[in-house]
Structures are given as C-alpha cells and as structure tokens.
Chain A
Amino acid sequence: MLPSWFTGLLAATLLLLAGGTVFESRLAAPLAQAPEAPRSTPNSPLSIRVVAYTIEAKLNTSSHSIDATETLVYKNLTGQPQQSFPFHLYLNAFQPQSTMTTEIRMSGARGVEADAGWNDKNRGSITVSKIEVQGAGDLTDKMQFMQPDDHNTNDLTVFQVTLPKPVAPGASVEFHMTFHDQLPEVLYRTGYKRDFYMIGQWFPKVGVWWKNAWNCHQFHADSEFFADFGTFDVNLTVPQNEILGAGGDLISSVNNPDGTKSAKFHSEDVHDFSWTASPDYTVVEDTWTGSAGPVKLHVLMSPGHMASAPRYVQALKGTLAWYDKNIGPYPYDRVTVVDPPHGAFNAGGMEYPTLITAGTTWYMPKGFLAPEDVVNHEFGHQYWYGMVATNEFEDAWLDEGINSYVEAISMAALYGENTSMINFPFATASEAQFLRIEYISLPDTDPITRFSWKFISDNAYGSVTYGKTGTVLLTLEKVVGQQTMLAALHEYFLRYRFKHPTGEDFLKTIEDVSHQDLKWYFDQAVYGTNILDYDIWDAHSDRLTWWEKEISRKKTADEMYRTYVTVHRKGDFIFPLNVLVQFEDGSTTTEHWDGRDRWVRYTYDRKSRVASAQIDPGDKVMLDRNFFNNSYVVDGDSRAIHKLENMWLFASEWISQFLAWIS
C-alpha cells in the first residue's frame, strides 16, 4: 500500500557518496545476466500457474452487491496429497467483531481512527452459498470457518473445506462456488462510494501452500496479500453506463437487452484480480514502451481531479522507465491507475496486479508531490508484491519496506534529491527524509521482521515496516554502495520474480551481490530493535601554555593548542563511522572509528584551534536517530534559531490579533 522513485543522477550521487564515506563502495561483481522476462506466451508462461479462476459476476448498483459464480482449478504442485483447502473470505472482515475491525478499534489503521464511526453502510460481507467439487459433489456443509491467527471465532475471513479424498500430487481439483458480496461503503480499501466502485478482495481465494503448510491468514488491519500465481478469466456484468477498469485485458464487451453490459477480462501470471466501475470516470489513455514492449496506460479520473491526470501519467511513465532501467522489465501490457473520487480517499493508495489506486484532490499544488508519489509507490508494488510475491502477512517489510526504499531513490532521481516530496520556494522535503522521520518517531518498538498483526500498534507497523525498512536500506547503501544496492535489487528481482521469497532470500541476495558478510548489520537493523545514535560529546581547544596568562601578539601566531574531540555512542547500535575535524586555519582531518566502545577521544596538538567536529559528514547514515547532535560547530550559527523564532513570533502575534479582533 501507499507511496515512492529514481534514474539519471545515479552517477553523480555515487560520486558524492564515494567522496565522504568510510565504507567501501565495492562494486558488484558482474552478475550472470538472467534472461529478461519476455511477455507471456501460451507455451512459456512467466509463472508457475497454480490456480485458474473463472468468475462470472453481476454488479447490482442499487443494493451495492455482487452475485457471482467462481470456478477454480487448483493444480496440486505441493508435492504431497492435499485433502483440505483453505480460502480467504476477505469481505467478512467488514463486520463489527471481525479481527480487522477489532484491530482498528485498538489502534486505528491506514488513516482510520480507532474510534471511527462505523455504521451499517460500512459493513460488508461475502457469503458462499454453494461449493461443489468436481467429482465430489456439493460440499457446502463441509465448510468450516477457521481463525489460525487469533482464534477469534467471530472472524469469518477464512474457511476450509475438506474433500472426501485427497488430490494427488500433480493432479488438479476443480471447485465451483456461488457467492454473494455485500460491499461496504468505502472506509478501508474496498467498497463503494456513491456510484464509484473499487472492488478488491472480493472473491473466495485459495491459500498458499508455503513452507510445507497451508498459509491462509485472516484479514488483518495491516496486511492482506499472499496468493499463488495463475490465470483469471472474469466476466463482469454491470449497467451499460458504467466505465470499467480491471486488472486484466479487455477481451470483449457486449450490451445485454436488460440494460446491462458484460465485459470479459483475461489476466495471467498474476495472483489477484480487482476491478472498478463508475459512470463518472474520464478515461485518459497513453502508451509507454519499455524493454519488454509497449504498455498501455489507462488512467481513470474522477470528477474534479482532471488537473492531476497529466501528473499521474508523467509519474507513471517516469517510474516505469526507472524500473525498466534499474530493476527489470515490466512484462505486462497494461497498467490501470484508478483515481478515487472525493470521499473515497481510503480506497486510494492501493496495489493490485496491473491495477493501482492513486489519490488526489480538486486542488493539489504542484509543489506537493503527493499524486506523483502515490503512483510511484503503488506502481512499485507491481514488482515488490506483484511479481516478487512475498508474504505480506509475515514479511510486510519485503513489499512495503523495499518498495519504500525504491520509492525514495526513484523519486529523488525523478524529482530531485531534496525536493522529491515537497518542492516550494519556501519549503522542501525529500521522500527519503520522510521515511526517516517516520522511523525516528517509533524506532524501537518492534523488529522489522515481526508479523504484521503483532506490532505494538498500527503506528508502529507503519513506522517500522515503511519508515525503518526504507531507512535501513538507505543506510545499507552507504555500507555497500548505491550501485551495488541497485545491482542487488536487480538480482533479487530476477531470482524471485513470480516466486514467494522470504526475508532470508532477500538479505542473502544482498550479501551475494556485495560479496560482504553483513550479518553484523542485519542482526541489529533487521532482526533487532537497536537504536543508532552517535553524538559529539565535546570539541574544544586549550592553549598548551595555558598557565601563561598574558600572550604577546607575536607569540599568538606560534601558539600551540591542544584540541579534544570526544565522540559518544548514545544508542546500542554499533556502526563504524567517520569523524571529520576541521580547524580554524581550514585544515581538516578525518578519523575512522569502529563505533564499538561507548566513546572515543581524539587529541590534536596544533597551531590552530578546532572549528568543528562532525560525525558522518553529509548525514549519510540515515539510521542515526538524531542528526542534530552529530556535529559541533564552535562558533555557532544562530540563523536557524532566528528563522524559526520569526515564524513562531509571527504566528503568535496573529493569534493575539485574532483574539483581539473577536473580543
């Protein structure tokens, strides 16, 4: 979910980084070029296709519901006989006592306040009225709800059906289901708002056989994605005035005599299918051509938002090009960007295979790059979730975290190192710094690798999964070099696209590519909750002949000073760092400290006094929780204080004026 980018400034950035860091920017060894992904063909699919869904669905706009039938052909590639099959029923999460709602009530989620008012319109459900298995007959009464994560018996988001006899390895089983969706008014990701429909997580979806067991988690407030690759053939029947968008190629569309139309979509080598409908969309179409061929860009704009359409398109093209150049080819022939209407903001900022939802408002200043950022981030998920299909429930950092990191560097490349998020003449901010801010607000409550629903709070989930992971990888850039980091991401993508890798797979890929043992870093940054904070404890100079009270002018020139610079490790994260000491005569010296002891002191006898001492020049170690104590400038500069003082003074004066005006 939510937002991030990068391209041509790479070389310049690398040069800058190489200049100031102690870390060896060892270039990645040339990697064996994995075959670039071609487009899928009938004889050579891109993925191992485990599932084949065929769905016939009819949207009822008066009751905001869907009646559908589903046929699922599941190919047993688990290597062992399978008799029980778990399915997700996500829409049942929109019930007052479900696990997702309970978690939201506890600490909020995705901008939904814990005490957000739920009303009947916000309820949603999915009812499977019939399930048949080819050769085994009607198994509806064999359905059993299960709650593998929290044993909340009121949560009906997972059910299991047991077949009369197991499915042999390599064999297929065919499920036929009839189901009814009652859509919630959009409060959270999916549902309707007026005549807008964003339909995600809407059909019974089979779990994944992973690590020698079924993996089918309940629908949680902060995670929802993990499924097998396959094909989707979906026939949607909607009123004729509806404009449709879907995560598949439109095969045909025919008008029915009853005022409806039926549109067939086909999608392959994906693990989910979502769609949207609204009579109010304005369709903006474009094309972008990458290394895997042309890609059709469909942007469905809601009323009042057309000013953002060119920004979406430009951001999408830029991101596609960046990924194509740095990570790997985009193998699908389409991307659909859905712009939710006002009031449906919580349906925005979501990712589904080949379909993403963005977000804007009727007035969006150009200097605030939110539309660009959300498109960049959600498109990034086509790689980190879409193709590299990690388990979001258990390893949310592998999709949201990696994606946030790539967002930071790709946005910097596309919109400027310091202006990738906010770019006004009077204020700027970068995406990378935003990630860091997110991280430092809650830096040590949970390790990155915690299961998504086990974080201390929703804020901690966001802070750690997005902010900390992104910051950990931005810092790792300084350890292994940015080019190596990009090479590692490229390699990771090639190795694990259309697979379900784990955190270990990702970390091992970085070690493989960088040829470095990074356990020391991963143990602290990924598996630990250590805080990284070094500060300049002291920096001052003293005359060597301090006992002589009077110094002649002549003697001053030859006066020797003893300078002390003490660096202190405040946190429990050990990290090697550079210390740059500058003297009044302009000379400098750089010290390297392994950062292990609690402190280190450097002493210099020189004719010049210390001017400044600086840990990590250039603030490259983004994990450092406090940049302000990383340096000590002897002759302080009060301009920043005066600047803030003036702003606060002005604000305070106006508050007084306002109060005086109304009294």
Chain B
Amino acid sequence: MPSAVRPKTFVSGAGLVWRWQRILWWIFIVNLVLAHFAIRGLVDRVRPALANSSASQRLVNGFDLTALMELAVRPDSPLETPGPVVFHYSVIFAIFMIFCTGGILATYVFDIKPTTTAFFEACGHHFWRFVRLLVYLALAFIPIGILIAICSAIHNRMDEQSNSPYPAAYFSGASSLLILLLLMVLRLWFDMAQVIAVADDETRMHRSLRRAASLLKHNFGSLFWLYLRISLLAGIFCGLGLYLWMYQLSPMSITLAFLLTQLMLIFWIASRLWQRASEALWYRQYQAAIVSEPTYSPSPTPAPVSYSAAMN
C-alpha cells in the first residue's frame, strides 16, 4: 500500500466521525434508552424503600456500601439480580448494532450524506451478510477460548507451584494483554471484512474474510497501530473518567456523575466509530491506490457515484 495514504487515516477517520456525528448520537441514545429500560424494574422496586426513608442518606452523603447490601440481603429484598433483563436488552442493542453497521459503513466508505431511506436500505442490504459473518466470528472465538483455557491452566499451575504469587500474577497480566490484543486483531479482521462487504458489495462473506485477512497480513503494522492508538486513547479517557468519578467528584454530585459517565460512554462509542471510519477510509485509499497501479488491482474498483447506487 502506498505509504502516502497512511498518516491521513487516523485524523481523517476522526473527521469522518465528526462529520457524520448523527450516527454517534443515535447509537448513544439507543444504548441509553435500552439501558434505561433494562434497569427500570430494578429502580422501580428500590424506589419505595428509598424515596421517603432517611436511611437513604447513607447512599447520598458518601456511599455506605452496607446500605446497598442491606437492600440486597433482606429476605424481602427489593433488589433482584437484574442480570437476565440487562443481558436481554444488551442482546437487543448488539442486534441493533449489527443491523446499523451496513448503513454506518456505507456512510463512511462513500462519505456522502445518506437519506434516511438510503441509510436503512444499506442496513437491511447488509444485515444478513453480517449475521453470517457473526457465525464466522463465533468460530474464530473458539481458538481464542482454547487459548484462554490454556492460559488459565498455566496460571493455575504457576500459582500452585510457585512460592511467590508474582509469577502467576505477571503471567496473568501478560496473557490477558495478549488475549486482548488478539481479540483486537480479530475485531480488526472482521471489521475489515465488513468494510469490504459494503465497499465492494461482496455477498460471500468467506471471500470478504479472505480478502480482509490478506490485506491485514500485508498491512498489519499500520492497521493494527491505527486501531491500537484509538483504543489506547479511549482507554485513557475512560480511565480518567472513572478516576474523576470515583476519587474527585463529590458523592453528592449526582448530576455531574451522570454527565461524566455518559461522556465516557460517548467517547467510547466515538472511538469505536473512529476505528470503523479510519478503516473504511484506509480501504477507500487503498482502492484508490490500486486503481492508480492497475497491475496490482484484484478487481475493478466500484465507482461510488451515489450512496444508493453503491447499495445496488
């Protein structure tokens, strides 16, 4: 790939996210609304216990953990594990995101303001392709799962055999980091396959995956660095937000805490879109470079004349 295109993708990707920030806000709102419904029952159950009780001040003036525990351990506890409900709403959100990915990527790949109809057409156009891709992703998780099991077994053995806890702890840290990076590579690969599916209107997902793997293989450094940089920024920002929330904000600053936590979430979503946009941009530039060097062109470059034309 021509090196001239590399430096632009990182910044231009952010520009794409900024330009089409409506996507960001919609994702954020859907996430917020679904999460709100997921916890609604829990909040409604806890409200009668807290609303008119002076004991609730233990949670306002600071955060007395035992006040929350008291609500949880009583035989008539108003707190039920919200796990299943939260999970169900999270699954809905994940499906929503798979659905929207086609429209989002089409926007980033073609960089043309989509009409609502065109956007959702793109979503629907690619939805089942991405569901099929999800099946491949599940298969790809198997070796990662095996690796996690192996690392866990090694950790347990080291922990069992070593008199010092550090070797096992260091190994655990290192292996977790490795697995995280592998997951990021996997994400990068499948994201690229999705970009190819949208940009080239590729219907066969195994072919998209093969091409994405080939691209990744030959441009691993630049693409991985692109993703890693954005992930690091997101991690730093969210870590800083958590630190502010836990250590700096007054326990009584409830509105500020809400704003801060939502800001962290917005930044996280933005960073994820940034990765997708940068990758889409990278691919666009890659294609453009191939057009200028026809001997390396694997297939004719589609002409992105219009957003809806690209969908057809």
Judge whether B56 and A425 touch: CB under 8 Å: no
Of all chain B residues, which has the CB nearest A643? B254
A-B contact sample (18 more), CB < 8 A, given A304-B164, A428-B65, A662-B141: A196-B163, A341-B165, A361-B165, A363-B169, A418-B62, A429-B66, A627-B67, A628-B55, A628-B71, A631-B53, A631-B55, A637-B56, A644-B68, A652-B34, A652-B86, A652-B89, A653-B265, A657-B31
Give the one of B73, B137, B166 with max A CB within 10 A: B73
* Given A641-B43, A661-B187; A426-B272 close (CB under 8 Å): no
Q: What separation, in Å, do the CA atoms of A343 and B252 have in the docked complex?
A: 41
Q: What separation, in Å, do the CA atoms of A27 and B271 have in the docked complex?
A: 66
On chain A, the residues within 8 Å of B91 by CB distance are 659
CB<8 Å pairs between A and B, sample of 5: A428-B64, A627-B55, A628-B70, A654-B265, A662-B137
A552: Cβ under 8 A from any B Cβ: no
Stretch of B92-100, B119-127, B279-287, B295-303 at the chain-chain interface: B92-100
- Shortest beta-carbon contacts, A-B, top 5: A433-B66, A640-B56, A652-B35, A656-B93, A342-B165
Of all chain A residues, which has the CB nearest B141? A662
B69: Cβ under 8 A from any A Cβ: yes
A441: Cβ under 8 A from any B Cβ: yes
CB distance from B73 to the nearest CB of A (A): 4
CB distance from A445 to the nearest CB of B (A): 11
On chain A, the residues within 8 Å of B246 by CB distance are 424-426
A81: Cβ under 8 A from any B Cβ: no
Q: How large is the interface on A (under 10, 10 to 19, 20 to 34, 35 or more residues)?
A: 35 or more
Q: What number of B residues sit within 8 Å (CB to CB) of A?
A: 71
Give the one of A612, A643, A652 with max B CB within 10 A: A652
CB distance from B286 to the nearest CB of A (A): 24
Candidates B53, B93, B166, B169; contact of A628 at CB < 8 Å = B53
CB distance from B273 to the nearest CB of A (A): 12
A645: Cβ under 8 A from any B Cβ: yes
Of all chain B residues, which has the CB nearest A444? B75
Judge whether A437 and B66 touch: CB under 8 Å: yes
Judge whether B46 and A656 touch: CB under 8 Å: no
Q: What separation, in Å, do the CA atoms of A607 and B32 have in the docked complex?
A: 46
A626: Cβ under 8 A from any B Cβ: yes
Judge whether A619 and B73 touch: CB under 8 Å: no
Judge whether A640 and B43 touch: CB under 8 Å: no
**How many A-B residue pairs lie within 8 Å, measured between CB atoms?**
195
Give the one of A625, A638, A643, A660 with max B CB within 10 A: A660
Main secondary structure of the interface of B (DSSP, over half): helix
Give the one of B47, B63, B98, B161 with max A CB within 10 A: B63
A427: Cβ under 8 A from any B Cβ: yes
* Given A646-B257, A659-B91, A659-B94; A430-B35 close (CB under 8 Å): no
On chain A, the residues within 8 Å of B161 by CB distance are 194
On chain A, the residues within 8 Å of B31 by CB distance are 653, 656-657
Judge whether B265 and A434 touch: CB under 8 Å: no
Judge whether A429 and B65 touch: CB under 8 Å: yes
Q: What separation, in Å, do the CA atoms of A633 and B56 have in the docked complex?
A: 11
* Given A641-B50, A649-B39, A653-B32; A659-B59 close (CB under 8 Å): no
On chain B, the residues within 8 Å of A643 by CB distance are 59-60, 63, 254, 257
On chain B, the residues within 8 Å of A653 by CB distance are 31-32, 35, 265
Candidates B52, B59, B187, B252; contact of A632 at CB < 8 Å = B52
A259: Cβ under 8 A from any B Cβ: no
Q: What separation, in Å, do the CA atoms of A559 and B169 have in the docked complex?
A: 71
Judge whether B93 and A660 touch: CB under 8 Å: yes
Judge whether A648 and B53 touch: CB under 8 Å: no
Chain B stretch 225-254: residues in CB contact (< 8 A) with chain A: 245-247, 251-252, 254
On chain A, the residues within 8 Å of B134 by CB distance are 663
Give the one of A196, A428, A619, A628 with max B CB within 10 A: A628
Contact with B along A389-432 (1 / 0, CB 8 A): 00000000000000000000000000000100010111111100
Candidates B59, B94, B247, B272; contact of A644 at CB < 8 Å = B59
Q: What separation, in Å, do the CA atoms of A645 and B251 have in the docked complex?
A: 14
* Given A646-B254, A663-B137; A428-B63 close (CB under 8 Å): yes
* Given A433-B64, A625-B74, A650-B265; A656-B35 close (CB under 8 Å): yes
Judge whether B43 and A636 touch: CB under 8 Å: no
A284: Cβ under 8 A from any B Cβ: no
A609: Cβ under 8 A from any B Cβ: no
Chain A stretch 4-36: residues in CB contact (< 8 A) with chain B: none
B216: Cβ under 8 A from any A Cβ: no
A642: Cβ under 8 A from any B Cβ: yes
On chain B, the residues within 8 Å of A303 by CB distance are 163-166
Q: What separation, in Å, do the CA atoms of A428 and B183 have in the docked complex?
A: 36
On chain A, the residues within 8 Å of B258 by CB distance are 642, 646
Judge whether B163 and A195 touch: CB under 8 Å: yes
B7: Cβ under 8 A from any A Cβ: no
CB distance from B191 to the nearest CB of A (A): 11
Judge whether B268 and A652 touch: CB under 8 Å: no
B80: Cβ under 8 A from any A Cβ: no
Candidates A626, A640, A655; contact of B59 at CB < 8 Å = A640
A324: Cβ under 8 A from any B Cβ: no
B15: Cβ under 8 A from any A Cβ: no
Judge whether B98 and A663 touch: CB under 8 Å: yes
Judge whether A304 and B97 touch: CB under 8 Å: no
B49: Cβ under 8 A from any A Cβ: yes
A440: Cβ under 8 A from any B Cβ: yes
Contact with B along A341-353 (1 / 0, CB 8 A): 1110000000000
* Given A361-B165, A628-B49, A655-B90; A427-B63 close (CB under 8 Å): yes
A482: Cβ under 8 A from any B Cβ: no
CB distance from B89 to the nearest CB of A (A): 7
Q: What separation, in Å, do the CA atoms of A626 and B258 have in the docked complex?
A: 29
Of all chain A residues, which has the CB nearest B245? A426
* Given A650-B261, A656-B90, A663-B134; A642-B55 close (CB under 8 Å): no
* Given A629-B53, A631-B53, A641-B50; A660-B35 close (CB under 8 Å): no
Q: What separation, in Å, do the CA atoms of A648 and B59 have in the docked complex?
A: 14
B200: Cβ under 8 A from any A Cβ: no
